Chain A
Amino acid sequence: MILYKTSNLSYEIDSRTIFSNLDFEISSKAIYEIRGGNGSGKSSLLKILSGLNKIDNIYYDENLELNIAYLGHKNGFVEEISLRDNFNIIGAPLNDSLFKKFGLSKLKNQKFFNLSFGEKRKSALVRIISSEKNIWILDEPFAGLDKESIKNLIKVFNEHVKKGNCIIMANHQEELDESVKIYLEKNV
């Protein structure tokens, strides 16, 4: 099923061209990696795909709405309350096996501001994984994670895709073997 399709896509911010002449088609059952250097428009493209910046020159599947789980640069949690309370107030399930897999079990009662950068990032990823959304749009999901967590996360990604779902992520770390690449070049 085609989720997004575009040809000759361009995007500007304040008269500065971020990217241009972009062609791609995104379907379900795959991982899509958006790759490019700093300032090439990876985050901007993710925001376009999530609908935050809607652009005419792109086809959006009609079933996309409410089927997207999004993770930007920030984690979306409240710093002053515990990890457990953060999940409770948004109605996200406290999936014990996921918490254990990412080493977060003992941190449930810790105030969120006490967690390290990597732990906060893993918490945000657990929220995404435990949502029942088919499409995951992730901005630099591996940032701040240790090797073991990256390995576990890639396994989770593959399982998610095997169920017929889709992952679209911006990534400038090591390329994934089984992913479709969308390359962005920085416009000078």
Chain B
Amino acid sequence: MYKDLKREFGLFLLIPKNIYLPLSIFGIIFLIFIILNFDEQLSYVSSFIAAFITVFIISESSFKDDYTSGYLEQKICEGESLSSYLFAKFSVNLFLIFIPITFFAYLINGFEGENIFELIVSYLLMLSTLHFFFNLGSAVSMKRNNSLNALLIIPLLIPFIILVEEIFVKIALEPNLNFLMAYFIFSATFINFAVIQILKVQSK
């Protein structure tokens, strides 16, 4: 576990574009929405859309570099855990991208309101769930080097998007936050399990 964490954090810090590229994408899309001056009710939606596109773009090449370099093949052949590999990738994205994006979004939208803590947690759960789903698309499309298969994953996210609308537009936290948590647990367990099996098949 430590070895994978060290590698993933090391890669992010040694290749700065891994950090500034997603934050730049998010910032630019968010800025466009600010300039378009949407209704205040849609301010959280604009940050959701910016986050959705950012996570989609960064997840597209989640495994491609490691597959192309032969690192994935080596890892599987040497019997190392792909679970800790996925956990390390998620941890790096959480601490170096998702948390800064969340902070940036709330800095612009404001930290007022009685449900601010629940909304911040919801935002992080949303980003994490998106990350896991798009990883599935990335794993499926790894060999063919295209995003088409990744786009096929988007229909799976439709109920998730409806859920997010309830939380961030209507601020209806109950029971939607519970459903979001369930969606997160489903993606963290089952989707990641599927990703591991797909990575093994793709590496053969």
Same complex for A and B? Answer yes
Which A residues contact B (CB, under 8 angstroms)?
47, 50-53, 64-81, 85, 88-91, 133, 137
Are A80 and B15 closer than 8 Å at their CB atoms?
A: yes
Report chain B residues within 8 Å CB of A76.
69-71, 73-74
Are A72 and B70 closer than 8 Å at their CB atoms?
A: yes
Nearest A residue to B81, CB-CB? A66
For residue A74, give the distance in angstroms from its CB to the closest CB of chain B. Answer: 3
Of the candidates B65, B76, B77, B80, which one forms a contact with A78 in the assembled complex, judged by CB atoms under 8 Å apart?
A: B65
Of the candidates A52, A69, A80, A90, which one forms a contact with B76 in the assembled complex, judged by CB atoms under 8 Å apart?
A: A52
**Interface-located stretch among B5-13, B56-64, B159-167:** B5-13
Are B203 and A52 closer than 8 Å at their CB atoms?
A: yes
Are A70 and B3 closer than 8 Å at their CB atoms?
A: no
Q: How many A-B residue pairs have CB under 8 A?
A: 74
Report chain A residues within 8 Å CB of B200.
52
Report chain A residues within 8 Å CB of B77.
47, 50-52, 68, 70, 72, 137
Are A75 and B79 closer than 8 Å at their CB atoms?
A: no
Given A81-B11, A90-B6, 8 extra CB contacts under 8 A:
A50-B77, A66-B79, A68-B78, A77-B71, A80-B15, A89-B14, A90-B7, A133-B78
A183 to B203, CA, bound (A): 25
For residue B36, give the distance in angstroms from its CB to the closest CB of chain A. Answer: 36
Which B residues contact A (CB, under 8 angstroms)?
3, 6-7, 10-11, 14-15, 65, 68-71, 73-74, 76-80, 200, 203-204
Report chain B residues within 8 Å CB of A52.
73, 76-77, 200, 203-204
A133 to B74, CA, bound (A): 13
Nearest B residue to A46, CB-CB? B77
Nearest B residue to A64, CB-CB? B79
Contact residues of A: prevailing secondary structure: loop
Are B11 and A89 closer than 8 Å at their CB atoms?
A: yes
A91 to B9, CA, bound (A): 13
A52 to B75, CA, bound (A): 10
Nearest A residue to B4, CB-CB? A90
Report chain A residues within 8 Å CB of B76.
51-52
Are A47 and B74 closer than 8 Å at their CB atoms?
A: no
Report chain B residues within 8 Å CB of A85.
10, 14
A5 to B10, CA, bound (A): 40
Q: Give the interface centre of B6, B15, B79 by most chain A CB atoms within 10 Å.
A: B79
A181 to B87, CA, bound (A): 41
Report chain B residues within 8 Å CB of A90.
3, 6-7
Of the candidates B6, B11, B69, which one forms a contact with A75 in the assembled complex, judged by CB atoms under 8 Å apart?
A: B69
Report chain B residues within 8 Å CB of A73.
70
Are B78 and A66 closer than 8 Å at their CB atoms?
A: yes
A50 to B77, CA, bound (A): 5
A146 to B138, CA, bound (A): 39
Report chain B residues within 8 Å CB of A75.
69-70
Report chain A residues within 8 Å CB of B68.
74
Nearest A residue to B73, CB-CB? A72
Report chain B residues within 8 Å CB of A88.
10
A80 to B13, CA, bound (A): 12
A81 to B80, CA, bound (A): 23
A80 to B66, CA, bound (A): 12
Given A52-B76, A52-B77, check contact A89 B204 (CB 8 Å). Answer: no
A137 to B74, CA, bound (A): 10
Are B79 and A68 closer than 8 Å at their CB atoms?
A: yes
